[in-house]
Structure formats: structure tokens, C-alpha cells
Structure 1
Amino acid sequence: MIHGNPNLDVRQTNRAIDELMKVTTNPRHRFMLEAYYRHRFLEIAGRYEEIFTPDMTVEHPVYHLEVGGNHATLHGEESVKAFYAAWAQSNQSIFYTENEQIAIADNFIASVSTMYQQTYGKTLVANGIPVDDENAYYLVRIPGMQMFWPYDDRGRLLGEDVWEPNPAERTVIKLEDFEVVTSERSGKMLAPFIRPLRSFDEAMSLQAA
């Protein structure tokens, strides 16, 4: 929990998905939400390798990132893996959400939230954001973060489109040492929540039943 806010707990990051699951009956949509939930917690837990199984992600995912006024496009599994690995190894894969709204259709999931990312001071300095201690960790608060995740016809992730529409509105909060969450600690906290993903065919068989 960060600065006394009970929502800033990695175990609560997917709570909007849990709420949507309660009212979702379409088997395809439920499968996609289960995969979405699993992907996000695997990423935060530093277990990014497990995201790239053939039942979850296509062979050549494409990520478009427009965050902090910077644009990046990642092509292919190796590029995306390297991106996740850098975050996990530097404890920057820790995310929290507030006021998240999620919508689902047959081939995409969309999310809008206030998002927080634990970020290393040297990373902020490299991106032109001054901090008082580049060896400390900070919480970057991003209001109105928009994410669009497309899926193929078998519910496999095609990539991510991530957009921060108002970089000037982000704020940076210095973390106390006891508030910093390592990837190892996050992995232990999230392990009970990371459930195996049933097969797409099994999920669709429920629709036919």
C-alpha cells in the first residue's frame, strides 16, 4: 500500500477486470478477460516469459506506445520480451490503477484509468524529467491512460496500443524505501492470483453446450 492508499496495492490492479467478469456471460469475452487478467498480473509479477505462450499471444505481436511524449513501436516477440525484461529486472513493471473502466468487444479490450508506474530515478532523468535522487524510485501518476488491446479470432493478443493523451498532467511522487516493491516481492504477492488459462476451445464449448 502506497502513501496510505489501499487501492495502490498490486493485488488490486485488476479489480476492474474482476468487476466486469461478474456481469460478462459471453464465453468468448470471458476467455479474453481471463487472458487479459493473467497477462497483466504476469507482467507485474515479472513473469513476462509466460505471456508468450501460443494460446495467449500471436507469434509477431506489435506494440505502439505513446507515453510521456515519446513514441515507440515494438515489432515481434523478441522486441517485446526485451522491453518487459528491462522493466522486470529494474523493478519498473509495478503498476497500480485507479478508477479504471474496461470495455470488451469480440476482438479488442479497451481500458481507461489513472495509472501509476513505479519508475527508477535514472529512467526519469533519461527521459528529461528532473528528480532529486536518481537512485531512488518514484511513482509516476498518469491520469487518463488509454489502452487498446486487439485479439485475433482465437482470443490471442495481437499487440497493445498505449496512449497517454496529456503528458503534462502526469505527476511524480518519490517513494520511501519501504514503499518500493521489487519484482520478486510482487511475484510472491501475485502468485495466488495468477490462474492457469483454460484452452480457447474449452471456453467456446461452453457456448455450444
Structure 2
Amino acid sequence: MQTFDVTKITSAVDRALQTVDNPQHRHILKNYRRHALLEVSGYWEEILSPEMTVEEPLYRITERGKTLVLDGMTEVRNFYRSITETGDNVFGALEEEVAVSDHGLFIDATFAQVVRGSHDSVKDQGLDHDKVYQVSHKFAGVWPYRGGRLYGEFIYEDAEAWWIDEVDESSLISGAEARELLAPLLAESPVEEIFEGLKLFANN
């Protein structure tokens, strides 16, 4: 069984950057890479800075048959603040394919999060509260971009592809540990690179 490794969360976008030549498309990929690293590192406020995200983003996240709609900066900001405070920002891909176009980014992935059996996401599953589990699910997603900045996240989960595996205690990491592990990767995605890339959209 594949276990979540936080240091691999940019593997798919890094592969895409090796083959995509279009400068605007490369900028979108770089934005996505930086976004992922900031989110899992707990630096959510930097995701919502004006060089990264539009002023009034729209998120539609469908999981387990329910759709969460976040309309506007206030709702999106509160969402990121909440998941970071609870430690639910530490998650990422087990498997991921990324494609990019003028419209934005497209994702086909299996994501995972490692939690204790007492976690809210699995509290109704009858798990041992003292043990550690990996919660995995398949989804497809669209991230539309406007002028080189993220407009939103539209996530559509496969409701029949959601499962839980018991994993070793060592698989559970804190937000602080994730931040430390991801620091070298985040250093490879400086904000200056984002500012430079936005110049490609100046006439859009």
C-alpha cells in the first residue's frame, strides 16, 4: 500500500513543468505548485495574496455527496483559516496527473490524509481512536485561472472511491513537521517567480 509522503506533493506538477513549454501555461503550473506548498505548510494567507488569487474567488468542493460552496474572499479565507487551525491542511496526492490549458489546471488524482481514529472525518467509522489511519479518495478537479491568477477550485470526488487503511504511527505528522519538511521545496517556488510570470498576462 502506498503511504502519504508530504515531500512528494509536487511530484505531478514537477513532471508537467519538465514538458510544458508555453510560458503562460508554465506560470499556471508554478502558481499551482506554490499554492500547494503554501497550503500544506500552513501559510494560507500567502495563497490569497493578490499576485496568486483573484479578489473574489469561487470554490466548489464536492466530497461524500455534499458540495461546499465558498463564494468570495471572506468565505475562502475562513475556510483556509479553519483547516489550518485544525491541522487538516496536511494532505496531498498519492497519485496525480496534471494538465494545463489557457482555461487553467486540470487534475485527476488520489489524495490522502493521515489522521487518528478519533478525527472528525472518520468519527462515524467505528475506528480505534488511538490508532492511525490513512483516508484516501479519488477525485477530478478544475482550477480556472484569470489573468494568471487562480479564480477558483472545482473539486468533484468519486463517491464510490473512498477508503481507509490503518498505517504506522510514524505516518502521522504535524503541521509544524510538514512545514519543516516542505521548506526546501517552497524555496524553489519564490513569490518573485510569480510576479515575473504575471507580466505574461499584462495584455490579457
**Per the shorter chain, which TM-score range?**
0.7 to 0.9
CA contact (8 A) 2:90 2:175 kept: yes
Following the alignment from structure 2 to structure 1, what is the Cα–Cα distance between the partners of residues 167 and 82?
Answer: 20
Identity of aligned residues (%): 28
CA contact (8 A) 2:62 2:156 kept: yes
User: How much is the aligned-residue C-alpha RMSD, in angstroms?
Assistant: 2.3
1:131 match: 126
Instruction: Report the TM-score, using the length of structure 2 for normalisation.
Output: 0.86
Which residue identity is paired with 2:153? E
1:164 match: 157
Q: Secondary structure at the match of 1:106?
A: coil
Following the alignment from structure 1 to structure 2, what is the Cα–Cα distance between the partners of residues 131 and 168?
Answer: 19
Instruction: Report the TM-score, using the length of structure 1 for normalisation.
Output: 0.84
Per-residue displacement from partner, 1:16-35 (whole Å, max 9, x unpaired)?
10011011111111111111
Q: Structure 1 residues 125, 20: CA separation in 2 closer, same or farther (over 3 Å shift)? A: closer
Q: Structure 1 residues 26, 85: CA separation in 2 closer, same or farther (over 3 Å shift)? A: same
Moved over 4 A (4+): 134-137, 204-207
Give how far 1:159 is off.
0.8
Higher strand share: 2
**Where do 5+ consecutive residues of structure 2 fail to align?**
none
**How is 1:47-126 mapped onto 2 (pairs within 5 angstroms)?**
47-119=43-115, 121-125=118-122
1:190 match: 182
Give how far 1:206 is off.
7.5
CA contact (8 A) 2:132 2:166 kept: yes
**Where do 5+ consecutive residues of structure 1 fail to align?**
none
1:36 match: 32
Give how far 1:174 is off.
3.4
What is the aligned length?
A: 198
Give how far 1:8 is off.
2.4
